[in-house]
Amino acid sequence: MKKLLAVLLLPALLHTGWAATLVEWKFNKPGDLQGWRPNGHLTNTVATGAGLVVEANGVNPILEYRGALAIPATNFQQIEVRLKTDYDGVVVFYWSNTTSGRYGGFTPEKITRCHVRGDGQWHTYRVLPCWQAEGKIVRLRLDLYNGANFAVDFLRITALPTAPEVQAVNFDFTQGAQEWQAVGSATWQADTTGLNVTLADSDAFVLAPPLSVQITTQTVVSVRMAATQGARGTLCYATERARGLHYFTFPLEADGREHTYSLDLRNEKNWRGRLLLLGLQPTDAVGAAARVCAVHFRDAPKNPPTAQEVMAVPDTKPVVARADYVPEPQPVRGPYEVGVYYFPGWNTNTSWQRIAPFPERRPTLGWYREGDPEVADWHIKWAVEHGITFFAYDWYWSKGQRQLEHALHEGYFKSRYHHLLKFCLLWANHNPPHTSSLADCIEVTRYWIENYFRRPEHVQVDGKPMVIIFSPHRLTEDLGADGVKAAFTAMRAECRAAGLQGLYLVACVNSPGEARLHATEGYDSVTAYNWPRLNERNFGQYESYASLVPAYLRQWMHIDEKSPIPLLPLPLSGGWDSRPWHGEDHMVRYGRTPELFKQHLTDAKNFLQQPAARGAKMVLIEAWNEWGEGSYIEPHREFGFGYLDAIRDVFTSAPPPHHDATPAEVGLGPYDLPVVR
């Protein structure tokens, strides 16, 4: 399992006084920006003498250094910044060895990310960009994030001390620390058993001395260690020709006993040429202890590794009464409107083939025929029997062209039980540029009125049909803020002319700054589809779902405090693992369980019960069936009805004991499309 890692975080490198300063910008003189220039998405940029103060009020706030810069680039250099902000987020350093190109030398692969804390306190952050392949650095910029206030005390580039380069990798920690360093909030002690490491935060790890090792044939890294907690370890590395730091993540046996992990890196495209840097995070469990005994390299085995075995699950079915159709639902609900996004992407065998390599995701309905009314009735039954009150269907329109309507038009509308479950639309308008116009907005509204808004099941807020806009920036970029406002005025007029009370429009946002912008355009409230990268620490493939749950709570609080319009519906996450869609290199929020999801739901309920909470008591979960994104609560092989039971427990007063009928139990189905291999 692998992932390109953009940055190695060094928030508290031990003995930082060792680093030699190459260039430094101190913002300690009033009015002196030290050659740094803000773009138009930063306002009130002032050097006060106590730091550079800026407000990020646009979608792409940038500070760029405009002075002369020519730094020889090596692998053991670091960027340091001391700043404070009022909102958690990720700042991004862009760097380049040229001023040529479309963006003056800046490109997406030449970046270094850094997670910063939004507690209003000063913190010094250090990152290793691993930019040695550039040869020299002539351009540098710092991208902030929208909706936050920043103060920057200093920026500098420093060089870490270099020990004699190691020509071969064969570290035996029973013989001492072997020149390794503790990085981040880590403590370690070497004794005759090995390097005993304790990680106090998710950025902590241990770092090898400088290396110079040809790894063309040495493609297996052997790590012998013992861990008491955690699910995964991570090997970090940088090579001479590849930009940035890369890492390889592997599963742990966290039983406290020594295990040898043979990490086969033959398929790692960046494990080539000369290795310059090596780091190890022995566990991903914060506060856990681990003992690293040895790290060494060896040549690849003669035979390729065997494929992972497909998980087998016992097929046990209780004996219940048979039925001729989906048994009539027995709805339960509480005082909350509980919505779930519904992705209509499962009407072809081709789509399911992308999910088949992840057998734990197999739906309880099998590889079903989405758009079949009987399939829709199973979905409706399971939803309403667990407190879900509406589905928000992903809906696609681009200049009158529509797609993926089968689940709504052929399934839900033709189902027997649709009167028991409300629905609304998420306009998934991630369309090409220049496809939005005033005329198109009026045309789409007329289509909504004719086909959806008059139906009694359509979700309303304050008596108005609710529509969620997935990409509000698409409208802003095509029409401008004033144009969006004019379009919304016309759309609401169309609804009133049709006898409706108006139109309730919701913008999906990622920050308070976006919420403030879209409030001026005439949206009634804000929400989100998902925020999978909240509290992202390692900027790599594996981040825990456990760390996402409290990050959502902080995001709710911050947007609710800063936004002039309500956070409604309150967005929640069912998880994230988009490897079926995007490949092995993309993010996995590992460790999601119904128990953690229940805590997430409880946080949402408590948040909505606050006296100062604005708007209706409404939540919206991503998602019922985002099987490709790894965000799904529909009953499936791994956890069955666990996620739905969590919703029933938190948002209804229905008694926990209940029976969840399945097609196989009542003699119905299968509903599968042709065989998925």
pLDDT of residue 615: 76
Secondary structure class of 663 (helix, strand, coil) = helix
Q: What is the pLDDT of residue 66?
A: 94
φ and ψ at residue 617, rounded to 5 degrees: -85, 90
Amino acid identity, position 278? L
Q: What is the pLDDT of residue 241?
A: 82
Task: Give DSSP secondary structure letters for 407-439.
Answer: IIIIIITTSSSGGGSEEEEEE---PPTT---HH
Q: With a cut of 70, say whether residue 405 has pLDDT above it.
A: yes
Instruction: State the average pLDDT over residues 417-446.
Output: 97
Instruction: Give helix 642-651 / helix 594-608 axis angle, nearest 10°.
Output: 30
Q: Look at residue 463 and tell me whether its pLDDT is greater than 90.
A: yes
Average pLDDT over residues 566-583: 95
Task: Please report where in the chains the tokens 């020889």 appear, as a residue.
Answer: 72
Task: Specify the range with the lowest mean pLDDT, choosing from 249-258, 492-501, 551-560.
Answer: 249-258
The reported pLDDT for the residue numbered 643 is: 97
pLDDT grade for 302, boundaries at 50, 70 and 90? low
When pLDDT is averaged across residues 492-508 and rounded to a whole number, the result is 98
pLDDT at 183: 67
What's the pLDDT score for residue 320?
60
Phi/psi at 379 (5° precision) = -60, -45
Residue 675: pLDDT band (50, 70, 90) is low
Helices vs strands, H then E, count in the chain: 10, 41
Q: 545-562 and 594-608 helices cross at what angle (nearest 10)?
A: 10
Q: State the Rg of the chain over Cα.
A: 27
413 phi and psi angles, rounded to 5 deg: -65, -30
Q: Tell me which of 315 and 219 has the higher pLDDT.
A: 219
Give the residue-averaged pLDDT of 141-146: 92
Q: What pLDDT band is residue 8 in, cutting at 50, 70 and 90?
A: very low
pLDDT band of residue 315 (cuts 50, 70, 90) is: very low
173-220 pLDDT, tens digit each: 999 988 888 766 677 889 999 999 987 766 667 888 888 888 888 899
SS3 letters across 82-125? EEEECCCEEEEEEEECCCCCCCCCCCCCCEEEEEECCCCCCEEE
CA distance 263 to 233: 11
As a whole number of angstroms, the distance between CA 425 and CA 465 comes to: 10
In this predicted model, which residue has the larger pLDDT, 235 or 447?
A: 447
Prior bond of 373 cis (ω within 30°):
no
676 pLDDT tier (thresholds 50, 70, 90):
low
Of 204-213, 372-381, 447-456, least confident by mean pLDDT is 204-213
Instruction: Read off the pLDDT of residues 62-93 as tens digits, 9 standing for 90 and up.
Output: 999 999 999 999 888 989 999 999 988 889 99
Query: Does the pLDDT of residue 128 top 90, yes or no?
Result: no
Task: Kindly report each contact of residues 647-650 with a partner whose C-beta sits within 8 Å and lies 24 or more positions away, as own/partner.
Answer: 647/338, 647/386, 647/387, 647/388, 647/601, 647/621, 648/332, 648/385, 648/386, 648/387, 649/598, 650/598, 650/601, 650/602, 650/605
Detail the DSSP E strand segments found in 192-258. 194-199, 205-207, 213-214, 220-227, 232-239, 245-251
pLDDT on residue 202:
64
- Say what angle helices 512-521 and 472-497 make with each other, to 10 degrees: 40
Taking 80 as the threshold, does the pLDDT of residue 628 lie above it?
yes
Please state, in angstroms and rounded to a whole number, the distance separating the CA atoms of residues 131 and 488.
47
Instruction: Give the span between the Cα atoms of 391 and 461, in whole angstroms.
Output: 15
Model confidence at 1: pLDDT above 70: no
Residue 92 phi, psi (nearest 5): -130, 125
Residue written as token pair 């029973």: 174
Burial class (CB in 10 A: 0-12, 13-18, 19+), 610: exposed
What's the confidence (pLDDT) of residue 553?
Answer: 94
User: What pLDDT sits at residue 318?
Assistant: 44
Q: How confident is the model at residue 677 (pLDDT cuts 50, 70, 90)?
A: low
d(CA 375, CA 381): 10
pLDDT value for 270: 85
Q: What pTM does this model have?
A: 0.72
What is the helix (H) or strand (E) element at residue 485, kind and residue range? helix 472-497
Q: Which structure tokens are listed for 64? A: 């760029």
Q: How far apart are CA 585 and CA 312, in angstroms?
A: 26
pLDDT at 201: 65
**Average pLDDT over all residues of the chain:** 89
Structure tokens at 441: 């907005």
Max mean pLDDT among 211-215, 287-291, 401-405, 655-659 falls in 401-405
Which pLDDT value is given to residue 481? Answer: 96
Question: What percentage of the chain exceeds 90 in pLDDT?
Answer: 65
Q: For residue 636, what are the contacts with CB-CB under 8 A and spacing of at least 6?
A: 360, 361, 362, 363, 364
For residue 172 the two structure tokens come to 């035996």
Q: The tokens of 511 are what?
A: 């920050």
How confident is the model at residue 319, as a pLDDT? Answer: 47
Mean of the pLDDT values across residues 521-535?
95
CB 442 within 8 A of CB 486: no
82's CB contacts (< 8 A; 6+ apart) are 122, 123, 124, 125, 152, 153, 154
Determine the pLDDT at residue 58. 77
Least confident of 126-140, 144-158, 266-280, 336-350: 266-280
pLDDT for the residue 538: 56
Q: Are the beta carbons of 70 and 89 closer than 8 angstroms?
A: no
Q: Strands, E, within 252-346: which ranges? A: 259-264, 274-281, 289-298, 337-342
Residue 531 structure tokens: 């925020």
SS3 letters across 164-194: CCECCCEEEHHHCCCCCEEECCEEEEEECCE
Going by C-alpha positions, the residue among 320, 321, 327 that lies closest to residue 417 is 327
Which domains does the chain show, CATH number per domain? 20-159 (2.60.120.260), 170-298 (2.60.120.260), 422-657 (3.20.20)
Percentage with pLDDT > 70 across the chain: 92
Span 529-573, pLDDT tens digits = 999 988 876 555 788 898 899 999 999 999 999 999 999 999 999
Q: Which of 43-57, 514-528, 573-587 shows the highest mean pLDDT? A: 514-528
Residue with the two structure tokens 């862009």: 94
Residue with tokens 């209780």: 318
- Mean pLDDT for the stretch of residues 409-426: 98
